[in-house]
Amino acid sequence: MNVINMLLSKIEQAKDLDFGVIFSESIELFKKTWLQGFLMLLFTMLIMLPLIIVLYIPLIGMVVAQQESGYTDTSGMEGFFAGMSALYILFIIVAVLVLGSVTFAINAGFYRIMRKLDNNEQVVTPDFFYFVKKQYLGKTFMIMLATIGIAIPSALLCYIPLIYTLVPLSFFAVFFAFNPDLTVGEIIKASFKLGHKKWLISFGLIVVSALLANLVGYLLCGIGLLFTTAFTYHPIYLIYKNVIGFDEHSAIDEIGTTTIE
């Protein structure tokens, strides 16, 4: 039996999951991974910073143009959009896809780190960038294209389909993290299979974990969001762990690692 058929078989035969157990395990695992979750978010922000700067440069020009023509005059806004060449728009789209692919690779690396810490193994900072390599970035780029290709039409259909696809899309990174040799089509197929099979509990855990992460983050004066945002990844990991499981004989991917500081 090949890998994809084995994954689909495990999903089909999966037992019912307990919401409370998964949520409690997520909290316990988060106690081990909160620092790595903060670092993941920090790396993501640093990667996206150049794109943010490029986006704001023309916006600053728009503000200047508005000041010259007056805020009640729309000529500044019209001039801004008229000045946006097709080449610039294309550059922004490509930049979003490329940087989004790198961010996706880091998210997948975080799932590997989560597994190591779950097994009380040691991790190092380069573990975040395990998939930021030439051999993987092409696949992460295609997954990003697929994600956008699924999310945008779903959102255009009154957002109701997007609510459904939110769950399968959330499994893309975890399937890629632990099955990087699967094709993009197989990752999508397995993610939708698991997302459909465990949709209700997955959606509930995603919503509740996101609400809790935001609530605690805002209670900590907003800065806490840097530490709590990664909590939403934990239920996804634990659903995958309980349904698919891991081959513990191949759990050690690197030898001689040291604890992250």
Look at residue 77 in the predicted model and tell me its pLDDT. 54
Look at residue 40 in the predicted model and tell me its pLDDT. 96
pLDDT tens sequence across 201-219: 999 999 999 999 999 999 8
- Domain residue extents for the chain: 3-43+101-250
The mean per-residue pLDDT over the stretch 15-19 comes to 95
Phi/psi-derived region of residue 123, left when phi > 0, alpha when psi is between -120 and 50, beta in every other case: beta
pLDDT tens sequence across 135-176: 999 999 999 999 999 999 998 888 889 999 999 999 999 999
**Identity at 247, one-letter amino acid code:** D
Q: How confident is the model at residue 67 (pLDDT cuts 50, 70, 90)?
A: low
Q: Are 213 and 33 in contact (CB under 8 A)?
A: no
Name which residue leads in pLDDT, 258 or 80. 80
Q: How confident is the model at residue 87 (pLDDT cuts 50, 70, 90)?
A: confident
pLDDT tens sequence across 172-201: 999 999 999 999 999 999 999 999 999 999
DSSP one-letter string for 86-121: HHHHHHHHHHHHHHHHHHHHHHHHHHHHHHHHHTT-
